[in-house]
Amino acid sequence: MTTIDLIIDFYKKAQRQGPGSKADTLRALSMVHLNSKKLKIADIGCGSGGQTITLAQHLEGDITAIDLFNGFLEEVNVRAKNLGLEHKIQTLQASMDQLPFEEASLDLIWSEGAIYNIGFEAGIKNWRNFLKPGAYLAVSEITWITSNRPSAIEDFWKKEYPAIDSASNKIRILENNGYTLTGYFYLPKGSWITEYYEPMAEQFDEFLERHHSSEDAQRIVREHQAEIELYQKYQDYYSYGFYVAQKV
């Protein structure tokens, strides 16, 4: 099994592949004001579809759930079918920087915890082309939630994701690129701990057993344990900011 296959196996059955919750998705959705019954929606970097399902349950229209890895999309299809939502959700294996949508064809672009793969600014610029005038973008992105922080956590994130920034700077990037903000909040601690890290940690042993405690499997568990410890220690300084904006 390749490392990528192992990582997909590690995440696939989880409700989410990043911090977030149904309540967060609905809170962001309350900042989107669309009335049409035939919305065209893209959920980019959908993972196994936690937020895709919530969107399908609360919006009228077609959702294209996009991910780079088919393993996650298979799981989206199973979940959609089990809930009788398959008529609303179609899956598409594609890279988020090479999407096949027509210009000005979408009412809503959703992306939770995924835009970092191409970078916030590159992503919001690229995806804007696909939005109709007045259409919405809702993205969550790692964000500093204080103006000062210990150098250990600053150094860590600057190395992992140099584009990490404060909400005020992210909002400026949105405004400078043809969006107007309709709402912002950052994810509460429960969306990291209860919704994401606790269920993740509960399946460490099973994952190791499934893969006979291979070197690769042990490394994946160790890396995630370190990530959890980091969050426990520095949770007052960063979170995912949820940015909801409209194409000007």
Ligand X SMILES: C[S@@+](CC[C@H](N)C(=O)[O-])C[C@H]1O[C@@H](n2cnc3c(N)ncnc32)[C@H](O)[C@@H]1O
Q: Which residues bind ligand X (CB under 6 A)?
A: 16-18, 20, 45-47, 50-51, 66-69, 72, 95-96, 112-114, 117
Residue 135 or 200: the one with the smaller Cβ distance to ligand X is 200
CA 206 to each of CA 60, 78, 194, 200, 203: distance values in angstroms, whole numbers, following the listed order: 38, 22, 19, 11, 5
CA 116 to each of CA 18, 39, 94, 113: distance values in angstroms, whole numbers, following the listed order: 12, 26, 16, 7
Residue 72 or 242: the one with the smaller Cβ distance to ligand X is 72
Residue 55 or 221: the one with the smaller Cβ distance to ligand X is 55
SS3 content of the chain, % helix, strand, coil (to 5): 45, 25, 30
Shortest Å distance, C-beta 20 to ligand X: 5
Shortest Å distance, C-beta 69 to ligand X: 5
Q: At residue 1, what is the residue type?
A: M
Shortest Å distance, C-beta 147 to ligand X: 26
Positive/negative CA dihedral, 106, 67, 229, 24: positive
**Exposed/middle/buried for 23, CB within 10 Å: 0-12, 13-18, 19+?**
middle
Shortest Å distance, C-beta 37 to ligand X: 25
Residue 184 backbone phi and psi in degrees, to 5: -150, 140
Shortest Å distance, C-beta 150 to ligand X: 24
Q: Which residue is closest to ligand X by CB?
A: 47
Shortest Å distance, C-beta 21 to ligand X: 10
Residue 65 or 221: the one with the smaller Cβ distance to ligand X is 65
Residue 126 or 235: the one with the smaller Cβ distance to ligand X is 126
Residue 22 or 210: the one with the smaller Cβ distance to ligand X is 22
Specify whether the CB–CB gap between 80 and 89 falls below 8 A.
Answer: yes
Distance CA 185, CA 54 (A): 18
Shortest Å distance, C-beta 36 to ligand X: 24
Q: Pairing mode, if any, of strands 131-144 and 238-247?
A: antiparallel
Residue 109 or 114: the one with the smaller Cβ distance to ligand X is 114
Residue 163 backbone phi and psi in degrees, to 5: -80, 0
Question: How many CB atoms neighbour CB 15 within 10 A?
Answer: 17
